[in-house]
C-alpha cells in the first residue's frame, strides 16, 4: 500500500477552500491510514491535531438509519408500515400542488422516510415549527417538534419524488417512539457505547467544546472560504430538547470511523459488538430509487450512485475506482463516510466548511479514488 498521493492531495486542500481536514481509513477493523492537514482555526494559526470535534450535519443520518434498521431487524416495525402507526399526527397529511392544498393520495411509510420520498422540505422555520418552539418556550422535545411537521403540506404525494428533506428527523422520532427511549439515549446504548464511541452526541460537553473545529463557509461572491458568521449556533438544534436525526450530531474522526468500519464488516465493530446483520446492511445499500425518483436523485450529481435506505450506493462502478455496493453519506460541512463490505474497507473524513459544492463534486470522489489506488500499490 502507498497512500502518498492521498496525503499530498489532503495537504493541498487548504489552498482550494478547505481550511483543515482529518481522514481515517480502516480495513477489517485495522487502521491503515490516518492524516490530518491544515488548520482547526486558520486565523489563529491552530493546526489540526487529529483530536478535533466536528459538526456531522447530515452524516448524522447514518446513525439514525442504523438505529431504525436495528428496530426493523428486531421486528418492532416494518419498512412498509405507515408512519402514522407510530406517529398518529401523520395520518392526515396534505399536499400543496399547483397552488392548491389537497389530501395526500398515498400513505406515508417508513420506507419513504428512509428513501427521502416523504414529500417534506428542509424549512427549519416553517409556521408549525415556529409555533411549537414559541408555545414550548424553546423546550419542545423531539416527538413534539416532529409532530408539528405533520401540519405542513407536503411538496408532493409520498413516493412520487426523491427530495432531500427532514425525512430522517421524522425517522429519529419514530425510533424514539418505537424504542420507548429518548432518541439520543437509544443511539448511545445501542450504537455508540457498543462500538466504543466516546466523543459523539447531540450536545457539546465542556470537554468537547475546546476541541470544536472552527466553522467556515465558502462565499461564492468572494470566491473564497471565510469564517462562518454565526459559528456558535447549531441551526438544527431547534429547541433545548430537540435531537435532530437528520443533522444534529457532533463527533470526532476516531469515533465516526468506528461506525463506518462496522458497516463495512458485516455489522460487527472493532470492539466485537454486533450492531446489524450483514443482510440488513445489504438492504441498507440496495437502491430504492426508480423512475422519476432516480432522476431526482441523479440531479445531485453523485455520479454512479443510487440512493438506498439513507445512503448513497454505488450502482455503476465505471465512475469509481471502487466496487459496486460501496456506500455512505456526507454532511453540510463536507464530512464524508465510505463503507465497502466487499473489501471490508471504510473511511471517514472530518472537515468544517459549509456551502462548499466543490467538496461534494470533486473532493469526496477524489479521496475515494485515491484510497483505492493506494490500496493497489
* Residues 369, 297 share a domain: yes
Residue 310 within any structural domain of the chain: yes
Structure confidence at residue 188 (pLDDT): 98
Number of domain units in the chain: 2
Helix 60-73, helix 253-264: angle, nearest 10: 40
* CATH number for the domain harbouring residue 213: 3.40.710.10
Structure confidence at residue 232 (pLDDT): 80
How confident is the chain (377 residues) per 10-residue block, as mean pLDDT? 97 96 98 98 96 98 98 98 98 94 97 98 96 97 97 97 98 98 98 98 95 96 92 89 98 98 98 98 98 97 97 97 98 98 98 96 98 95
Q: Is 301 exposed, middle or buried (0-12, 13-18, 19+ CB in 10 A)?
A: exposed
Residue 299 within any structural domain of the chain: yes
* Residues 327, 190 share a domain: yes
**What contacts 24+ positions apart, CB below 8 Å, involve 182-185?**
182/142, 182/243, 183/67, 183/142, 183/243, 183/245, 184/243
* Residues 367, 335 share a domain: yes
**146 and 169 in contact (C-beta within 8 Å)?**
yes
The dihedrals phi and psi of 363, each to the nearest 5 degrees, come to -65, -50
Give the whole-angstrom CA distance, residue 53 versus residue 266. 27
Residue 68 within any structural domain of the chain: no
* Residues 316, 195 share a domain: yes
Q: If you count DSSP H runs as helices and E runs as strands, how many of each does the chain have, helices first?
A: 13, 15
Which among 138, 161, 179 is the end of a domain? 179
Residue 288, C-alpha cell as written in the block: 430504492
CA distances from 173 to 91, 195, 266 (A): 15, 23, 26
* Residues 191, 170 share a domain: no
* Residues 337, 207 share a domain: yes
Give the whole-angstrom CA distance, residue 54 versus residue 255. 11
Q: Reduced to 3 DSSP states, what percent helix, strand and coil does the chain have, rounded to the nearest 5?
A: 35, 20, 45
* Residues 55, 186 share a domain: yes
* Residues 312, 234 share a domain: yes
Structure confidence at residue 133 (pLDDT): 97
Which among 110, 144, 179 is the end of a domain? 179
Domain that holds residue 131: 77-179
Which among 145, 179, 213 is the end of a domain? 179
H or E, element range at 307: strand 305-307
Residue 72 within any structural domain of the chain: no
Structure confidence at residue 233 (pLDDT): 81
Give the whole-angstrom CA distance, residue 119 versus residue 15. 39
Structure confidence at residue 230 (pLDDT): 86
Other Cβ atoms within 10 Å of 354 Cβ, number: 17
Residue 71 within any structural domain of the chain: no
* Residues 104, 21 share a domain: no
Q: Which of 302, 307, 342 is nearest to 319 (CA)?
A: 302
Structure confidence at residue 231 (pLDDT): 83
Residues comprising the chain, all counted: 377
* Residues 82, 54 share a domain: no
* Residues 235, 88 share a domain: no
* Residues 50, 87 share a domain: no
Helix 364-376, helix 4-12: angle, nearest 10: 160
CA 346 to chain centre: 15
The reported pTM is 0.97
* CATH number for the domain harbouring residue 152: 1.20.58
Structure confidence at residue 346 (pLDDT): 98
Residue 11 within any structural domain of the chain: yes
Amino acid at each position: 500500500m502507498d497512500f502518498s498521493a492521498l496525503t499530498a492531495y489532503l495537504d493541498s486542500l487548504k489552498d482550494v477552500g478547505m481550511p483543515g481536514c482529518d481522514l481515517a481509513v480502516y480495513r477489517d477493523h485495522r487502521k491503515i491510514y490516518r492524516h490530518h492537514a491544515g488548520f482547526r482555526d486558520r486565523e489563529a494559526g491552530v493546526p489540526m491535531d487529529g483530536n478535533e470535534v466536528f459538526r456531522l450535519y447530515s452524516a448524522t443520518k447514518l446513525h439514525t438509519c442504523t438505529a431504525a434498521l436495528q428496530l426493523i431487524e428486531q421486528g418492532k416495525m416494518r419498512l412498509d408500515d405507515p408512519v402514522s402507526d407510530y406517529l398518529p399526527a401523520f395520518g392526515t397529511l396534505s399536499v400543496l400542488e399547483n397552488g392548491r392544498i389537497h389530501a395526500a393520495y398515498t400513505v406515508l411509510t417508513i420506507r419513504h422516510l428512509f428513501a427521502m420520498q416523504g414529500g417534506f422540505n428542509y424549512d427549519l422555520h416553517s409556521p408549525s415549527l415556529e409555533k411549537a418552539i414559541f408555545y414550548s418556550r424553546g423546550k419542545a422535545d423531539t416527538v413534539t417538534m416532529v409532530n408539528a411537521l405533520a401540519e405542513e403540506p407536503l411538496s408532493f404525494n409520498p413516493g412520487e419524488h426523491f427530495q432531500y428533506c427532514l425525512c430522517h428527523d421524522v425517522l429519529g422520532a419514530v425510533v424514539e417512539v418505537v424504542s420507548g427511549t429518548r432518541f439520543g439515549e437509544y443511539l448511545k446504548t445501542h450504537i455508540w457505547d457498543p462500538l466504543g464511541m466516546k466523543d459523539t452526541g447531540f450536545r457539546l460537553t465542556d470537554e468537547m467544546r475546546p476541541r470544536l473545529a472552527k466553522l467556515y463557509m465558502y462565499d461564492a461572491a468572494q470566491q473564497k472560504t471565510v469564517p462562518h458568521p454565526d459559528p456558535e449556533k447549531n441551526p438544527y438544534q431547534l429547541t433545548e430538547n430537540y435531537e435532530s436525526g437528520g443533522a444534529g450530531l457532533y463527533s470526532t474522526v476516531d469515533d465516526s470511523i468506528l461506525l463506518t468500519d462496522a458497516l463495512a464488516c458485516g455489522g460487527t465493530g472493532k470492539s466485537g459488538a454486533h450492531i446489524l446483520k450483514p443482510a440488513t446492511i445489504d438492504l441498507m445499500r440496495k437502491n430504492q430509487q426508480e423512475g422519476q425518483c432516480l432522476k431526482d436523485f441523479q440531479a445531485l450529481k453523485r455520479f454512479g450512485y443510487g440512493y438506498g435506505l439513507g445512503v448513497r450506493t454505488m450502482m455503476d462502478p465505471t465512475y469509481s475506482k471502487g466496487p459496486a455496493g460501496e456506500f455512505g453519506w456526507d454532511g453540510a460541512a463536507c464530512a464524508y463516510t465510505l463503507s465497502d463490505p466487499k473489501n471490508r474497507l471504510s473511511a471517514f473524513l472530518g472537515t468544517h466548511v459549509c456551502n462548499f459544492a466543490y467538496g461534494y463534486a470533486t473532493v469526496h470522489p477524489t479521496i475515494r479514488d485515491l484510497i483505492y489506488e493506494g490500496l493497489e500499490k
